Structure 1
Amino acid sequence: MVPKITVIGSLNMDLTATSAKRPAAGETILGERFETFPGGKGANQAVAAARLGADVAMIGMVGRDPFGDELTQVLRREGIRTEHIGRAGTSSGVAVIQVVDGDNSITVIPGANFQLTPDYIGTKRSVIAESDMVLIQLEIPLETVAAAAKCCQEADVPYILNPAPAQPLSREVIDQAAYITPNESEAAILFDDIQKALKEYADKLVITKGEEGIVYSGGRVPAFSVEPVDTTGAGDTFNAALALKLASGSPLDEACRYANAAAALQIGFPGAQAGMPTNDEVISFMRQNGQNPL
């Protein structure tokens, strides 16, 4: 059966500038390239999950502006259900991304994403209840994250909490999550002692560590040796792939290996969504690298 995944989160237009270095304070430099890409952690995860074969619904908020129109149309073209995306009387979210040597730094202007309220989540209980897995990130208000977590708990639907961008969270939200997927810096903000947290949240806490791979209570998954073009969206691809496999009944170790491969493929392309792979591409990549894609 095709797993049903609901993504609750942000939709942004990514404004990406590529340059040889980052400007210092007060400095003006010449860049190499400027591009616009549809993004936002929520939308990125929705696209990645759809490309991998999931039945995806998106719950979010955009503005009544051209960016809002385009962001919604992009998801619709990917086969994602967009009827749960609302329209706010403000600008759509924007992310300003600086790419240097394949790595990125990002400034996010939330816009309409911060109009995604707990009350709006409450009107979407039925789509949440029909899901096999829910994905939630932190580019929306924390009270909305808490409301979404409560809806999942009441509907007995597991959710993956991707705590990005990094910020402290209540113990209740963390405890309610079926899985928590911080990167290394986010984990340091959430937990005073990461080794202790890995034991406390066994089979639940998955930490992505870039070139060092993935760490969870059951062990470590090494990173693939790939040349990054743009790491924007790598974490989103990882989370979507993890959600797909877990919702399909795979054990955590198998899901982590699959998600690791999907993220490795994604970073070979500019823009968060451009390189998001299909399931067949992930399987082929794993086999080429000597892994058994069970």
Structure 2
Amino acid sequence: MPQPYDVITMGRIGVDLYPLRVGVPLAQVETFGKFLGGSAANVAVAAARLGRRAAVVTRTGQDAFGDYLHQALRGFRVDDRWVTAVPGLPTPVTFCEIFPPDDFPLYFYRQPKAPDLEVRAEELDMDAIGAARVFWVTGTGLCAEPSREATLAALEHRAKSGTTVFDLDWRPMFWDSATGTSADGARPYYAKALARATVAVGNLEECEIATGEREPFAAARALLGAGVELAVVKQGPEGVLAVHSDGTVAEGPPVKVDVVNGLGAGDAFGGAMVHGLLSGWELERVMRFANAAGAIVAARLACSSAMPYAAEVDALLDGHAPGPEADPEPEAPAGPRPGTDGGPGTGAAPGAAS
């Protein structure tokens, strides 16, 4: 049997189109940069940048943007074997506006339906999912069928083996609110996912959606009560709180950086948290490292290509300011897919962005 993956993520993917001018509304932007995006894809890239064997389970359109996402994943050394195309549905595109230090409006184009919500339970490689050292799912994956059934089936198959992370990832615009608020519709499915996960991670708003609690310690206790072993509550400029069911508490202070784009900081935090947990570090060290990784991405323009290497995170923790974005990975050659071998303001990061 092939060596298990360090981390398999499952969920959203798309193309991010970011303005190349900061502090300018979209109506006035003339040039954009094109990047791999989506929380599940970004977390996999963040873990891969830290040396972890990563793969993502998702779907794209059968179009040029879908081809681009395959190329980008391979370039970041993320296994794309479980990224499949859905004929008739376009690959999602997301635009943002960049107004540092804390205003980054997002505009999602996922109509008529995002292909990543067409992941089906019967098509999942449950053996690989069950064997992965970390399995990561997101709240967005619960917002519609058949992705909802597939996400819960994968969690059920894991049966809390290894580390199973539920990223609360609250995006209300993806949920149908025809029979009440989108939060009302989401909570029962969030409860099912929490009962099957070992780790929950989210910002204050996401924790409130999942548990009804917004005060950090109360939210962490509610997440533990819902079934997880580790609750991670991101608090933006107040840092991060992590509480384990064994009584361990870690509070990671914010890392001060000159914020360029806060989007993606939460995904960098997630990939770095995975790396720290797999490394067997004490909880406080995991949170400090993850906070620093998120801060580095917040100080850069992009998300996926901004994910830091371990040496960059260590340098920031040693007091050095984050440098520019690392050179992109060399483009992967054509052929078999990889994986068989293995103007800114000042703010704090990573906190709420994801």
TM-score, normalization by structure 2: 0.73
Q: 3-state DSSP class of the match of 1:53?
A: coil
Separation in 2, partners of 1:50, 1:143: 28
Distance 1:87 1:3, change over 3 A: closer
User: Which structure 1 residue ranges, 5 or more long, are not aligned?
Assistant: 24-28, 290-294
Which residue matches 2:176? Answer: none
Corresponding residue to 2:68 among 62, 67, 70: 70
Which residue is equivalent to 1:147? 153
Residues 165 and 198 of structure 1: is their aligned pair in 2 closer, same or farther, counting only changes over 3 Å? closer
2:167 pairs with one of 140, 162, 169: 162
Q: How does 1:33-112 map to 2 (within 5 A)?
A: 33-89=31-87, 90-102=89-101, 103-110=103-110, 111-112=114-115
CA distance in 2, matches of 1:228, 1:158: 31
* Contact 2:165–2:199 (8 Å) recurs in 1: yes
SS in 1 for 2:104: strand
Q: For residues 74-106 of structure 1, give each alpha carbon's deviation from its aligned partner in whole angstroms, at most 9, with x where no partner exists.
A: 111111111111111121122222222243122
- 2:348 corresponds to: none
Q: How far did residue 33 of structure 1 move?
A: 4.7
Q: 2:231 aligns with which of 188, 205, 217?
A: 205
Distance 1:108 1:160 in 2: 25
Is residue 113–residue 139 contact of structure 1 (8 Å, CA) maintained in 2? no
The amino acid that maps onto 2:232 is V
1:92 counterpart SS class: coil
- The 8 Å contact of residues 20 and 32 in structure 1, kept in 2 or not, is answered as no
**Unaligned 5+ residue runs, structure 2?**
142-146, 172-182, 244-248, 321-354
Amino acid at match of 2:91: S
Look up the equivalent residue of 1:108 and give its one-letter code: F
SS of 1:249's partner is: coil
Contact 1:4–1:130 (CA<8 Å) still a contact in 2? no
Q: Which residue of the partner structure matches residue 199 of structure 2?
A: 179
- Superposed displacement of residue 266, structure 1: 1.1
Alignment partners' CA distance in 2, 1:176 and 1:30: 46
How far, CA to CA, are the matches of 1:144 and 1:56 in structure 2? 20
What SS is found at the alignment partner of 2:260?
Answer: coil
Amino acid at match of 2:221: K
**The residue matched to 1:246 in structure 2 has which SS?**
helix
* Post-superposition offset of 1:60: 1.0
Shift of 1:19: 5.8
Please tell me the root mean square deviation across aligned C-alpha atoms, in Å: 2.3
Q: Which residue of 1 aligns with 2:119?
A: 116
Alignment-derived partner of residue 10 in structure 1: 12
SS of residue matched to 1:99: coil
CA drift of 1:138 comes to: 2.8
Q: 1:191 to 1:21 in 2, by over 3 A?
A: farther
Distance 1:158 1:129 in 2: 10
How big is the shift at 1:129? 2.2
User: Which SS does the other structure have where 1:187 is aligned?
Assistant: helix
Structure 1 equivalent of residue 266 of structure 2: 235
Aligned position for 1:226: 257
Deviations 1:190-220 (A, max 9, x none): 1222433322445511111111111223142
TM-score (norm 1): 0.87
The answer to whether structure 1 residue 253 and structure 2 residue 284 are counterparts is yes
Query: Is the CA contact 2:233–2:240 (under 8 Å) kept in the aligned structure 1?
Result: yes
Paired residue total: 281
Partner of 2:294: helix, strand, or coil?
helix
